[in-house]
Chain A
Amino acid sequence: MRTHPEGRTLLEPLDLLLAERRISVIGANGSGKSTLLRLINGLLLPTEGTVAVHGNDTRTMGRTVRRSVGFVFTDPLSQLVMPTGREDVELSLRTLRLSSGDRRSRAGEVLRRFGIDHLADRSSYDLSGGERQILALAVVLATEPRILVADEPTTLLDLRNDARVRSLIAGLDQQVVFTTHNLDFALESDRTLVLDAGRIVFDGPADDAVAHYRQLCSCAPLGGP
């Protein structure tokens, strides 16, 4: 196996076809979850082999892939770049080459759809963590990507906001691939991958995967099966 100039292999060789509507990825910190997600939209390119989304290779069609794959990060503040939410959504819409009038009305629609139109003109610094993450989702979904990739979207949120973001994600039409440390959230998916030290150690239905993961970190609940 060839190694990178920096000599670190982040993900062992793997062969995956991701077609389910809701796919979760669980595993310890540093197990390669984020690397796997970043491969899907071409933020990282594989040192060997190929990654293709709808038949488009991330290496040669990177921009096309990124347009059809939305990516949400753990910390919404590193994702939101404009002073207010409305402007951030309009920035996303720029990639669709709309006129500025169309951008404005589309941005309004998007914010209404996510129930945050009352926050449209507030500074993203003044929003709560949950509001920020919902805004980050709105910003990414404004261009209607066909797939949403979310890297621990609820890790920084309190319980109520965690529930809000999860129900929002559950209601999306898009295919969603997400990582999480919240095993309840993982159970809401159709298929779960368990990663350990850069290797996929389990791939299957969510409940079996969660059981496997609990065993893996020997944190199975007392009195469990």
Chain B
Amino acid sequence: MQPARTTVTGTAGTGRRSTRRRWDATDLSLVAVFAALIAALAILPGIPVGPLGVPITLQTLGVLLAGLVLGPARGTAAVLLYLVAGLIGLPVFSGFSGGFGVLAGPTAGYLLAFPLAALVAGLLTLGVLRRTHKFRVVLLFLAALTASLLTIHPLGITGLMINAGLPLRDAILVDVVYLPGDVVKDVLAALLAVSVHRAFPRLLAAKPPLRA
């Protein structure tokens, strides 16, 4: 066998991040793992909260986190990947459901709103993280709340009207029940996102040039 030749010369630092615009394997993996995180949060039993222990399911938390942690592009991609996986039949939606059937179900509007929610949350997050280091939790909470009020609730109500045949008033009443839980999830999402960005500061930061 021909002896292999490997030459190593020079100094090594952490010259990992390139300024390449194309996603590398880590970006791809982040998108995939966040899609899995949304699925895991949707499938797993809810966490009991507060003195009454009312369980909240965490699917929308996963969706908002994708935007707040990965930013608009990768965040939206993660949510789209999650939706595609569910639509081709993998039971990753709440209650172990999946398949094109959910498009006929009452929650179709909420599901279709998710990528938009991640997009809006991600765009707002980029604006916050690039501009300020102060009040990040409050600002990211507002980003999450804005995203869910602009996308998830209106589209969810529309879906209830079309697929479950509810009149507008009833649809709004059904939707409003979820609002307090959503505010809790928005707070949680903001707290989590700030922790993640502190632990992995390079996730959304403007990528530094390779050389000083």
- On A, residues with C-beta under 8 Å from B are 1-6, 8-21, 32, 35-36, 39-40, 43-55, 146-147, 173, 175, 177
Instruction: Decide yes or no whether B19 CB sits under 8 A from chain A.
Output: no
State whether B13 touches A40 (Cβ < 8 A): no
Partner of A1, one of B11, B210, B211: B11
Instruction: Decide yes or no whether B12 CB sits under 8 A from chain A.
Output: yes
Q: Which chain A residue shows the least CB distance to B9? A: A49
Q: A47-B211, A175-B4 given as contacts; is B9 within 8 A of A10 (CB)? A: no
What is the CA–CA distance of A96 and B29 in the complex, to the nearest angstrom?
21
Task: Taking A13-B10, A49-B11 as given, write out 17 further A-B residue pairs in contact, using a Cβ cutoff of 8 Å, ordered by the A residue number.
Answer: A3-B212, A4-B13, A11-B11, A14-B9, A14-B10, A18-B5, A20-B3, A36-B8, A39-B8, A39-B12, A46-B13, A47-B210, A50-B7, A51-B9, A53-B5, A53-B6, A147-B4
What is the CA–CA distance of A12 and B9 in the complex, to the nearest angstrom?
10
What is the CA–CA distance of A6 and B202 in the complex, to the nearest angstrom?
11
Partner of B208, one of A5, A39, A147: A5
User: Could you give 8 example pairs across A and B, Cβ below 8 Å?
Assistant: A11-B12, A36-B8, A46-B15, A47-B15, A49-B11, A51-B9, A54-B5, A175-B3
What is the CA–CA distance of A220 and B91 in the complex, to the nearest angstrom?
58
What is the CA–CA distance of A157 and B15 in the complex, to the nearest angstrom?
31
Instruction: Decide yes or no whether B132 CB sits under 8 A from chain A.
Output: no
Chain B residues contacting A45 (CB-CB under 8 Å) are 15-16
State whether A5 touches B11 (Cβ < 8 A): no
Chain A residues contacting B8 (CB-CB under 8 Å) are 14-16, 18, 36, 39-40, 46, 51
Q: A45-B16, A47-B211 given as contacts; is B11 within 8 A of A2 (CB)? A: yes
Which of A4, A15, A55, A147 has the most C-beta atoms of chain B within 10 angstroms of its own C-beta?
A4
Distance in Å: Cβ of B114 to nearest Cβ of chain A: 25
Q: Which chain B residue shows the least CB distance to A16? A: B8
What is the CA–CA distance of A52 and B212 in the complex, to the nearest angstrom?
24
State whether B7 touches A52 (Cβ < 8 A): yes
Instruction: Decide yes or no whether B1 CB sits under 8 A from chain A.
Output: yes
Q: A4-B15, A4-B212, A5-B211 given as contacts; is B4 within 8 A of A46 (CB)? A: no
- On B, residues with C-beta under 8 Å from A are 1, 3-16, 208-212
Chain A residues contacting B1 (CB-CB under 8 Å) are 21, 173
Chain B residues contacting A5 (CB-CB under 8 Å) are 208-212
What is the CA–CA distance of A8 and B15 in the complex, to the nearest angstrom?
11
State whether B7 touches A8 (Cβ < 8 A): no
Distance in Å: Cβ of B175 to nearest Cβ of chain A: 37
Chain A residues contacting B212 (CB-CB under 8 Å) are 2-5
State whether A6 touches B14 (Cβ < 8 A): yes
Partner of B11, one of A12, A17, A53, A177: A12
State whether B5 touches A49 (Cβ < 8 A): no
Q: A5-B209, A173-B1 given as contacts; is B6 within 8 A of A52 (CB)? A: yes
Chain A residues contacting B14 (CB-CB under 8 Å) are 4, 6, 8, 10, 44
Chain B residues contacting A18 (CB-CB under 8 Å) are 4-8
State whether B11 touches A48 (Cβ < 8 A): yes
Closest 9 CB pairs of A and B: A49-B10, A4-B13, A11-B12, A47-B13, A175-B4, A18-B6, A48-B11, A49-B9, A16-B8
Chain A residues contacting B4 (CB-CB under 8 Å) are 18-19, 53-54, 146-147, 175
Q: Which chain A residue shows the least CB distance to B212? A: A5
Distance in Å: Cβ of B198 to nearest Cβ of chain A: 16
What is the CA–CA distance of A54 and B5 in the complex, to the nearest angstrom?
5
Partner of B13, one of A10, A20, A175: A10
Distance in Å: Cβ of B169 to nearest Cβ of chain A: 47
